[in-house]
Amino acid sequence: MMPIEIVASILVLALLATLASAVRIFREYERGVVFFLGRFQKVTGPGLVILIPGLQKVVRVDLRTVVLEVPTQDVISRDNVSVKVSAVVYFRIVDAKNSVIEVKDYLNATSQLAQTTLRSVLGRHQLDEMLAEREKLNADIRGALDAQAAQWGVKVSNVELKQIDLTESMIRAMARQAEAERERRAKIINAEGELQSAEKLAAAAKILAQEPQAIQLRYLETLTLIGVEKNTTVVFPLPIDLLAGLLTKK
């Protein structure tokens, strides 16, 4: 037979092990989903929680925000342009019960859902929209992802598109398009300038036509400007109107 001291020691150790398995301490950002004989009983924590050994089991759930890197996805835009897109998803658990009962691995499930949602949402937009309207696309992806992940007790707080990579041929095509657009705008601006100049000249011509003396003064002013230049010989036409007075005297 075993000595009484050894038996007592074994009983004390067994009691201590039982007490240790019955005690759980949850931090402020943690919750415990308690099951009694396999059935959901309650969500507990934070603080000290006492369990019935052998009858109650607990699953620890972290409520802090998770930063999820979405792997680079091949996306075909609505205008049939292939791009590679990566993103970051920020989410947290708001319902500890559903995060344990409704899904086996909420982290992996959210990651897979984020990848498919990213391709689905971006595929409905053209390339120009992807490059120029990132804030709107971020909101669209976040809304679609949050609506589907809510059943798992997951709240998606933000989605950010990190990078949109284009092929070399597409980059060259966009550069040519941008250059053509700049040339088009330059031609339009030049044409508008010519139109305004023609309108001003037409208005000036109408005013000068009403005052013949103004035309003569303008002509003399032009001669003065020519005389300022260092020219040895200046040939200029003489209006008949200036000689009309001399011809009538003869």
Residues 88-101, mean pLDDT to the nearest whole number: 94
Q: What percent of the chain has pLDDT over 70?
A: 70
Q: Domains in the chain, start-ordered, CATH in brackets? A: 4-62 (no CATH), 66-166 (3.30.479.30), 178-249 (no CATH)
pLDDT digits (tens, 9 = 90+) for 62-73: 999 999 999 998
- Of 182 and 101, the structure prediction assigns the larger pLDDT to 101
**Where do the DSSP E strands lie in the chain?**
23-26, 30-36, 39-44, 47-50, 56-62, 66-76, 82-93, 154-165
pTM above 0.85, yes or no: no
**Whether residue 227 has pLDDT greater than 70:** no
**Local structure of 42: helix, strand or coil:** strand
DSSP 150: G
Torsion angles phi and psi, residue 67, rounded to 5:
-100, 115
